[in-house]
């Protein structure tokens, strides 16, 4: 194998073997500047009626090689392991068969979902939900959003990898069923323990229903750390699932997640969710699927905010499985409330004091006040995520974003005045029962620093795990909540999009009745944006960094989140 790799990649040194599968071996390779992985796949074509001569066998090998490249061209993108190049080496053709090796140069991923779950069990509910959501989005794209439809027949935790910037990606592409494929990877590639009953017992073809069942098993593993009926073999496991369904040991799983996984693991294909679009709708939590309770085990490596039941105007929320009334005292730190119009989630930030700009301040940035005196901040509710394109569209009826990528991506390219218009319309939708505004800079920084802690980035010091910025964003914003939250359970306050800040007042619609003059007429008036963006360097993502913008201009790097006002 080393000789084969050296023929294709002579400048690389060969490290350890990373894995051995049915269809090939994977090695780590490296040079002075980077590390990669390389997979070596043997190809063998036997003589047949349709390929009976050496010339026909030779042609078929070449066709298969180009089919692999075309196949990857169709599936590459978000959620798929990055492939850098393909090589066909050591081709030998006779009258009886054709042999060759396919060498694939690809991204090096050092961890997989199997090890991540076992090493960090139990995962925090927020992280588990995000993993389910990310995987469903990948599978939706593969099965519905591209010209050629693909189904993953070998979906299992060990084939789901974490890239260097913590993206979840499908790492073994051999299990994707496609229209044209290399001969070494047939449609029969699957793992018994992670496959649907009709696929194993009835020889049914791979399809949406079998992919949904495997997704249910992986989701169950994410929460429980093992397969259902772990001690049974796969035949007995399927029999028990048919007879009894599945049950859960963890008490902190949201009811809608339990119901979703049980539906995905229905024994009969007709009883499962019809596709991954439906699964994503359930994961996003539509009105009839609200989480009834979530608590957070102390063992969890992440401790995001406790979830909430829908409370309307009562000030009722849930923490650690018990209901508390917020009328006599402030909510506990990190409690979550949802507005009744968009189900937008707000996290409670407790009152306190902090000194702005001291989270690693240096000459590259300047706090919003030039003072070493602490600032007192009253408790307030702030959006757990930036306002999304889907939320904007529901209120405004359009999507102004430069990156028009989907409902779960932050809206951007909106001016300060646009955001105020959104807020006024949102309040009108609730008949003015709730009052919203843009956070002041003090509120924004205090919340970003997990209630005033000395945090360089929102949540800690490892920006790669906390936010999307120039080095890991691929020069584009990303879906909300795909990085780790800060200590209050608030996401994306360092990177992804910068966020407009306000002055602490509810916007007056009369203020934005303009005379039709130039958008540059108020060029001397500036409003602050905070938090850094997908196009920012590390310094600009620090919690105290600020930048001033003209209020009537929109920017592809600038979005917003809102606060609920008293």
If pLDDT is split at 50, 70 and 90, which confidence band does 522 have? low
pLDDT of 399-436, one tens digit each?
A: 999 998 889 999 999 999 999 999 999 999 988 899 99
Q: How confident is the model at residue 322 (pLDDT cuts 50, 70, 90)?
A: very low
Least confident of 356-370, 459-473, 546-560: 356-370
DSSP state of 433: S
Range in 76-80, 456-460, 490-494 the model is least confident about: 76-80
Strand ranges across the sheet with 83-93: 13-20, 25-30, 35-46, 97-106, 83-93
Supply φ then ψ for residue 161, to 5 degrees: -110, 160
- Which pLDDT band holds residue 199 (cuts at 50, 70, 90)? confident
Q: Name which of 162-171, 252-261, 445-454 the model is least confident about.
A: 162-171
**Helix, strand and coil in the chain, % to nearest 5:** 30, 20, 50
When pLDDT is averaged across residues 21-38 and rounded to a whole number, the result is 84
Pick the more confident residue, 366 or 346: 346
pLDDT of residue 319: 35
Kindly indicate the confidence band of residue 388, based on its pLDDT and cuts at 50, 70 and 90: very high
Pairing of strands 380-383, 345-349: antiparallel
Was 303 annotated as part of a binding site?
no
Complete DSSP assignment for 487-516: TTS---SSSSSEEE-B-SSPPPGGGG---S
How many C-beta atoms lie closer than 10 Å to residue 520's C-beta?
10
Decide if domain 111-289 falls under CATH 1.10.510.10. yes
* Sheet-wide strand order for 558-559: 546-549, 527-530, 498-500, 558-559
What secondary structure letter does DSSP report for 219? H
Q: Which of 39-43, 114-118, 432-436, 506-510 has the lowest mean pLDDT?
A: 506-510
Q: How confident is the model at residue 46 (pLDDT cuts 50, 70, 90)?
A: confident
What is the pLDDT averaged over residues 474-488?
Answer: 92
Domain positions in the chain are 2-106, 111-289
Neighbouring residues of 547: CB distance < 8 A, sequence distance ≥ 6: 498, 528, 529, 530, 540
pLDDT digits (tens, 9 = 90+) for 263-301: 999 999 999 999 999 999 999 864 333 343 333 233 222
- Of 13-22, 90-99, 246-255, 549-558, where does mean pLDDT reach its minimum? 13-22
- The answer to whether 434 and 311 have CB atoms below 8 angstroms apart is no
Residue 325 has pLDDT above 60, yes or no: no
Q: Domain 2-106, what fold?
A: Phosphorylase Kinase; domain 1 (3.30.200)
Token couple for 149 = 């439809």
């Amino acid at each position: 194998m080393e000789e084969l790799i050296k023929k294709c990649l002579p400048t690389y040194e060969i490290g350890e073997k990373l894995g051995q599968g049915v269809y090939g071996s994977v090695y780590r390779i490296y040079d002075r500047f980077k590390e990669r992985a390389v997979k070596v796949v043997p190809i063998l074509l036997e003589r047949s009626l349709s390929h009976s001569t050496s010339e026909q066998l030779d042609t078929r090998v070449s066709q298969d090689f180009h089919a692999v490249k075309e196949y990857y061209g169709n599936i590459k993108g978000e959620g798929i392991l990055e492939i850098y190049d393909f090589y066909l080496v050591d081709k030998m053709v006779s009258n009886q068969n054709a042999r060759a090796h396919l060498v694939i140069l690809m991204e090096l991923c050092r961890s997989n979902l199997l090890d991540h779950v076992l090493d960090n069990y139990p995962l925090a509910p927020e992280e588990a939900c995000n993993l389910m959501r990310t995987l469903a989005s990948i599978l939706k794209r593969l099965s519905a959003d591209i010209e050629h439809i693909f189904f993953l027949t070998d979906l299992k935790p060990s084939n789901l990898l974490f890239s260097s910037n913590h993206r979840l990606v499908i790492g073994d592409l051999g299990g994707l069923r496609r229209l044209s494929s290399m001969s070494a990877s047939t449609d029969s590639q699957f793992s018994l323990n992670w496959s649907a009953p009709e696929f194993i017992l009835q020889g049914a073809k791979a399809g949406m229903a079998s992919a949904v069942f495997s997704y249910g098993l992986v989701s169950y593993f994410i929460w429980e750390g093992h397969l259902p009926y772990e001690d049974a073999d796969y035949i007995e496991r399927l029999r028990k699932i048919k007879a009894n369904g599945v049950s859960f040991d963890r008490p902190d799983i949201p009811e809608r997640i339990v119901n979703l996984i049980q539906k995905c693991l229905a024994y009969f294909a007709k009883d499962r969710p019809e596709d991954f679009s439906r699964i994503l709708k359930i994961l996003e939590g539509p009105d009839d699927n609200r989480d009834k309770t979530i608590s957070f085990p102390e063992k969890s490596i992440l401790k995001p905010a406790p979830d909430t039941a829908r409370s309307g105007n009562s000030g009722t929320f849930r923490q650690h499985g018990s209901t508390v009334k917020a009328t006599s005292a402030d909510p506990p730190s990190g409690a979550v409330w949802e507005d009744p119009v968009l189900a937008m989630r707000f996290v409670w930030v407790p009152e306190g004091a902090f000194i702005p700009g001291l989270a690693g301040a240096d000459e590259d940035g300047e706090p919003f006040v030039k003072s070493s005196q602490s600032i007192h901040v009253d408790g307030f509710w702030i959006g757990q995520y930036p306002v999304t394109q889907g939320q904007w569209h529901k209120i405004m009826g359009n999507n102004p974003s430069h990156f028009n990528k989907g409902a779960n991506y932050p809206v951007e390219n909106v001016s300060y005045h646009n955001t105020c218009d959104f807020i006024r319309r949102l309040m009108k939708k609730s008949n003015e029962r709730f009052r919203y505004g843009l956070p002041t800079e003090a509120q924004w920084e205090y919340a970003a620093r997990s209630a005033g802690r000395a945090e360089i980035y929102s949540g800690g010091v490892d920006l790669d795990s906390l936010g999307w910025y120039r080095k890991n964003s691929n020069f584009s914003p990303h879906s909300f909540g795909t990085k780790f939250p800060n200590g209050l359970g608030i996401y994306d306050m360092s990177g992804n999009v910068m966020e407009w800040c306000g002055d602490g007042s509810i916007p007056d619609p009369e203020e934005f009745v303009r005379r039709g003059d130039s958008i540059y007429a108020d060029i001397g008036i500036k409003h602050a944006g905070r938090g850094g963006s997908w196009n920012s360097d590390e310094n600009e993502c620090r919690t105290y960094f600020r930048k001033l913008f003209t209020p009537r201009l929109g920017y592809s790097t600038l979005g917003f989140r809102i606060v609920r006002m008293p």
